[in-house]
Amino acid sequence: MDVLTQNFPLYREGFLGTVELTFYASLIALSVGLLMAAFRVAPVRALRAVGATWVNVLRNTPLTLLFFAVLLGLPRFGLVLPFRLFAVLALGCYTSAFICEVVRSGINTVPKGQGEAARSLGMTFPQTLAYVVLPQAFRTVIPPVGSTLIALAKNSAIAGAFSVTELLGTYRTLNERGFSIVWIFVWIAVGYLIITLFLSALFGVMEKRWGIAR
């Protein structure tokens, strides 16, 4: 317990940093992922190409490499932002590719007749997607979206290697202070466990309320 009690402010700062990264990156991942899923099922070929390219490039790029590209590459082109914001963008965009595929799989579970009926009533593609297809698809994608965001929370640990304050990065300071590396990582693991259990409970409640009974 000495590792935690004597260094609680440091652990708290790292924990809150991870929570902040997870929250803002999740907002980007959900927003962009939903948009790319709409592109992937759009009737316009150019939009489908954009969605497919986005998914294939990001899903097949190692996250660490993406961090290098965003945090170290973009400033060379004159885009200078705080490293934390770069980390949020990297995490959010990377995870959006997986969210896109999850949402697209949910859209594919909706019978085609639903969309055809909406179009026969004169609804446009965006209206059909927003009012007919996505509300039904939402019920099927709650568990996989939750799993994807839990993975995002754990992936945020990479940000610590780029001078971004987060939970895993606290081990360097604590190790320099001479504390046992075993107990350092035990309390770091407890912090990640709290975050992931909270996300699991949140999506569990959502699934019980809105999910499809199996």
DSSP per-residue codes, 151-191:
HHHHHGGGGGGGT---STTHHHHHHHTT--HHHHHHHHHHH
Return the structure tokens found at 146.
Answer: 């939750």
pLDDT tens readout for residues 111-137: 888 888 888 888 888 888 888 888 888
The two three-digit tokens of residue 35, written as one number: 């948009």
Let me know how long the chain is.
214
User: What is the C-alpha to C-alpha distance for residues 21 and 50, in angstroms, rounded to an integer?
Assistant: 27
- Residues in the chain, pLDDT under 50: none
pTM, rounded to two decimals: 0.90
- 183 and 126 Cβ atoms separated by less than 8 Å: no
Model pLDDT, residue 77: 82
Asked if 168 contacts 157 with a C-beta cutoff of 8 angstroms, the reply is yes
33: number of CA atoms within 13 Å, CB side? 31
Angle between helices 134-155 and 181-210 (to 10 degrees): 180
CA-based angle 40:42:44, to the nearest 5?
Answer: 110
Model pLDDT, residue 213: 57
Q: How far is CA 68 from CA 78, 87, 107, in A?
A: 16, 10, 33
Cβ atoms 187, 3 nearer than 8 A: yes
Q: What is the pLDDT of residue 74?
A: 82
**CB of 174 closer than 8 Å to CB of 185:** no
Distance CA 10, CA 165 (A): 10
Helix, strand or coil, per DSSP, at residue 109: coil
Helix axes 134-155, 83-108, angle to 10 degrees: 140
Q: Provide the token pair at 154.
A: 């754990």
pLDDT one-digit tens code per residue, 37-68: 999 999 899 999 999 999 999 999 999 999 88
